Amino acid sequence: MQALEGITVLDFCRNAPGMFCTTVLADLGADVLMIERPMDEARSAYEKIAAGIDGPEAERRHASFNALQRNKRSIALNLKEPEAQNIFHSLAETADVVVEGFRPGVMDRLGAGYEKVRSINPRAVYCSVSGYGQDGPYSQMAGHDINYISFAGALGLIGPENGRPAIPLNLIADYAGGGLCGAVGILAALMAREKTGQGQCVDIAMSEGVLYMLSGLISDVLGRGVSAERGGNRLNGGAPYYNVYRTKDDKYFSIAAIEPWFWENLCRALDLEDLLPHQEAAGAKKAEVEQALADAFLTRTRDEWFETLKDSNISVGKVYSLEEALDDPHARERGMVLEIEAPEISEGKVRQVATSIHLSENPGQVRHLGSVTGQHTSEVLNQLGFDSDAVADLLHRQVVQ
């Protein structure tokens, strides 16, 4: 048995934040049904070009390799049609969770907003993942990860001290502030339901998720009036002992010798004992320390330095490409790369990243690979009591796909 077995989720998400949220739930055993839009010709052409899909076989292959679609079924409903809304309402009657990622108001216009779902099923947990939340002056603004981390103050802290902010991947707001915070909020609401018998709305604003993750730095601002600066904090490039250095093979190596004993071990391992008193050097001396470390790391390759330092009680790491990260022996031994049977595509197997949530008794797993749009429409309608003629009629009239 999986931890969330028996929990049903209706997934209205179209982008990474909400899709990652429901992937976390699905990997832990929830039955996730994607409520997708029917693919009209224009949208189908756009999305297939964007994803590099050319033909049904490529679409099937894309879905099979897409970890954000695994463990999920798909039904396509044209929610502009009252009949399609009624189908959703039937699904909502027994759903435990509804997750959506639109701007506030969109789901209400589709007959699928929180108040409507609550009137149908008061036990349902309804999670909205948006950029700025369900209210407030920015709630209707368009946005992406870079905008959310801008407003939260995170982007201004990333990058060199005298340069412009460095744009990270969309992991901070989209995946962490949105997806992970959404999953945590849903699980908390499900736990609360065990005590109250009632569902509730989970309002996740990605920009606020980033603020929340900055809680340590914000505590310094609010409590001591001390603000971090780009490239000036010891954890964002302001310290030689917590930094990245180029190696002989033109790769990079990370060190994090924050604790004095780590710093001592590092200096001795690099034959730079003269730097021992200067861990917290400033000004010209800091530049001198950084240069000495830079010169030292240029004398060996990245992998040679790792073999030299990994057992010396020093916080170190090889800066990997994604391909290298997947092939690392530690990741392999921990089971972070899965090989899954995929008889429906020519390769016969796919590789995907595993869940990072390791449960000893109810581990997450991939039960099935991703679904193409509308793959389970007939199956779901049959479960709702529609006979084959009624399903064929709805498909013909494009109420469903």
Strands 8-11 and 97-100: parallel
CA 225 – CA 248 distance, rounded (Å): 42
Four-residue CA torsion sign, 130, 131, 135, 139: negative
Is 206 within 8 Å of 149 (Cβ atoms)? Answer: no
**DSSP label at residue 304:** H
Catalytic residue selected from 31, 96, 174, 203: 174
Half-sphere exposure for 329 (CA within 13 Å, toward CB): 0
CA dist 18 and 12 (Å) reads: 8
| Residue 331, both tokens | 């990741």
Span(s) in the chain for CATH 3.40.50.10540: 8-212+334-396
- What is the Cα–Cα distance from 391 to 219, expressed in whole angstroms? 57
Query: Going residue by residue through the chain (401 aa), what tens digit of pLDDT does each one get?
Result: 999 999 999 999 999 999 999 999 999 999 999 999 997 655 555 556 656 666 678 889 999 999 999 999 999 999 999 999 999 999 999 999 999 999 999 999 999 999 999 999 999 999 999 999 999 999 999 999 999 999 999 999 999 998 999 999 999 999 999 999 999 999 999 999 999 999 999 999 999 999 999 999 999 999 999 999 999 889 999 999 999 999 999 999 999 999 999 999 999 999 999 999 999 999 999 999 999 999 999 999 999 999 999 999 999 999 999 999 999 999 999 999 999 999 989 899 999 999 999 999 999 999 999 999 999 999 999 999 999 999 999 999 999 99
> What string of DSSP letters covers 266-283?
HHHHTT-GGGGGGTT--H
330 catalytically annotated = no
For helices 215-224 and 206-213, what crossing angle results, to 10°? 70
What is this structure's pTM? 0.94
**CATH tag, 242-246+252-318:** 3.30.1540
Which structure tokens are listed for 366?
């991939």
CATH topology of domain 8-212+334-396: Rossmann fold (3.40.50)
Domain with CATH 3.30.1540 in the chain: 242-246+252-318
CB burial of residue 113 (10 Å; 0-12, 13-18, 19+): buried
| Residue 295 known to be catalytic | no
